[in-house]
């Protein structure tokens, strides 16, 4: 039966036949690509070797686990997504996939990816993957997102786990270096999302999500962005300082950190405009991708410098 | 007789599912080989 109302059941069954593409969209493929990349770098940076098939399986499990998290996030957030311009076209709010189908799909992929990781790779990587999915779905999506402006600070941990999982897939454990990769993404997340929320806060305000600009105002958000940027920049250079990488990583990472802080200062000084915030949002993407590409380059050149 | 839109979507979904299952079979085969070599 096709019934549309404002209740949670509006997405229950629209009579629409979902396509494979609709299911693929539930996995948030753009987020998944970043997760795959950071997990791959974690896997490559880890000491030791792993069979290429096992490495591929580990990356596949991480990707599917991340996709499952995204799918379960869309299942829970369907009603909010329907009221936000940016997310109204997603498969559930647009009626292409029912909430039940999304829930079943997400749970199946989450369980499947953790089980396969445990059987084919190792238990440490499987445990970290399970923790990541649990953290994103229960701690971030269900518990924190609608309750506190610190939602993305704590919830950001789930996005920071993939390089640790990649590392654990090779070594079977956790080490200072893998925690450092985690910390870089963890401290990168708040300035990245707060810069975005500065120019999309109206959307969040309309649906009652307590993003920092909505709750504490733009002035406080700009100050917090600067504080986190000041923490992030030295953290980005730490892999060089502790001898994990050479100068090929260290010097460009330091320059990227300086550029990040300089742009954060611009955001802090900005009034009645979001131009600098947009600039920082774009720069933050370049910064994180840049650091992880540099890690790979440094590793490939074997710390020649 | 041309297929209806509904049938086209169902066929596309079934083909995608078959591809995923086939991919998993291949993957499990190679995982087994890799594990045996490791042992």
DSSP state of B32: H
Identify the residue among A53, A109, A115, A169 best suited for mutation to test binding to B, counting B beta carbons within 10 A and taking the highest: A53
Residues of B in contact with A67 (CB under 8 A): none
Q: Which two tokens stand for residue B24?
A: 């998993």
Task: Give the model's pLDDT for residue A6.
Answer: 44
Give how far the C-alpha of residue A263 lies from the chain's centroid of Cα atoms, to the nearest Å: 22
What lies within 8 Å, CB to CB, of A90 at 6+ separation is A25, A74, A78, A81
Say yes or no for a CB contact (<8 Å) between B34 and A51.
yes
Residues of A in contact with B9 (CB under 8 A): 17-19
Looking at this predicted complex, what is its ipTM? Answer: 0.86
Say yes or no for a CB contact (<8 Å) between A51 and B10.
no
Cα A166–A169–A174 angle (5° rounding)?
A: 80
The pTM of the full predicted model, rounded to 2 decimals, is 0.89
Q: Is A90 helix (H, G, I), strand (E, B) or coil?
A: coil
pLDDT in 10s for each residue of chain A, 305 residues: 343 444 444 454 555 788 899 999 999 999 899 899 999 999 999 999 999 999 999 999 999 999 999 999 999 999 999 988 888 999 999 999 999 999 999 999 999 999 999 999 999 999 999 999 999 999 999 998 888 888 888 888 999 999 999 999 999 999 999 999 999 999 999 999 999 989 887 778 888 888 898 889 999 999 999 999 999 999 999 999 999 999 999 999 999 999 999 999 999 999 888 899 999 999 999 999 999 999 999 999 875 55
What lies within 8 Å, CB to CB, of A270 at 6+ separation is A222, A276, A277
Q: Judging by beta carbons within 10 Å of its beta carbon (0-12, 13-18, 19+), is residue A265 exposed, middle or buried? A: middle
Number of residue pairs across A and B with CB atoms under 8 Å? 31
Task: Give the model's pLDDT for residue A226.
Answer: 97
**Phi–psi pair at A85, nearest 5 degrees:** -55, -40
Residues of B in contact with A120 (CB under 8 A): 31, 35
Q: Rounded to a whole number, what is the distance in Å from the CA of A230 to chain B's nearest CA?
A: 44
């Amino acid at each position: 039966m096709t019934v549309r109302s404002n209740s949670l059941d509006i997405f229950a069954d629209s009579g629409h036949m979902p396509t494979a593409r609709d299911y693929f969209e539930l996995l948030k493929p753009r987020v998944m690509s970043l997760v795959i990349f950071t997990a791959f770098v974690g896997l490559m940076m880890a000491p030791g070797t792993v069979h290429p098939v096992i490495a591929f399986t580990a990356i596949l499990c991480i990707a599917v686990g991340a996709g499952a998290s995204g799918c379960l996030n869309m299942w829970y957030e369907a009603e909010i997504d329907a009221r936000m311009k940016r997310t109204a076209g997603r498969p559930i709010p647009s009626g292409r996939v029912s909430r039940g189908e999304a829930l079943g799909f997400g749970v199946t992929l989450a369980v499947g990816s953790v089980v396969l990781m445990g059987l084919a790779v190792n238990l440490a990587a499987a445990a970290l993957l399970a923790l990541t999915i649990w953290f994103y779905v229960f701690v971030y999506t269900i518990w924190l997102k609608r309750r506190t402006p610190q939602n993305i600070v704590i919830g950001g941990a789930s996005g920071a786990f993939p390089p640790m999982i990649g590392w654990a897939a090779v070594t079977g454990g956790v080490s200072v270096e893998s925690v450092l990769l985690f910390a870089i993404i963890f401290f990168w997340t708040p300035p990245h999302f707060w810069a975005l929320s500065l120019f999309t806060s109206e959307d969040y305000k309309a649906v009652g999500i307590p993003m920092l600009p909505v709750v504490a105002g733009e002035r406080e958000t700009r100050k917090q962005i600067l504080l986190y940027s000041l923490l992030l920049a030295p953290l980005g250079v730490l892999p060089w300082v502790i001898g994990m990488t050479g100068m090929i990583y260290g010097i460009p990472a330091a320059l990227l950190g300086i550029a990040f802080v300089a742009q954060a200062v611009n955001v802090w000084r900005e009034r009645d405009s979001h131009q600098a915030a947009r600039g920082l949002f774009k720069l933050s993407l370049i910064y994180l991708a840049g650091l992880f590409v540099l890690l790979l380059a440094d590793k490939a050149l074997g710390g020649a410098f | 007789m041309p297929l209806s839109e509904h049938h086209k979507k169902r066929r596309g979904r079934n083909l995608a599912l078959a591809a995923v299952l086939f991919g998993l079979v291949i993957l499990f085969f190679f995982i087994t080989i890799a594990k045996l070599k490791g042992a």
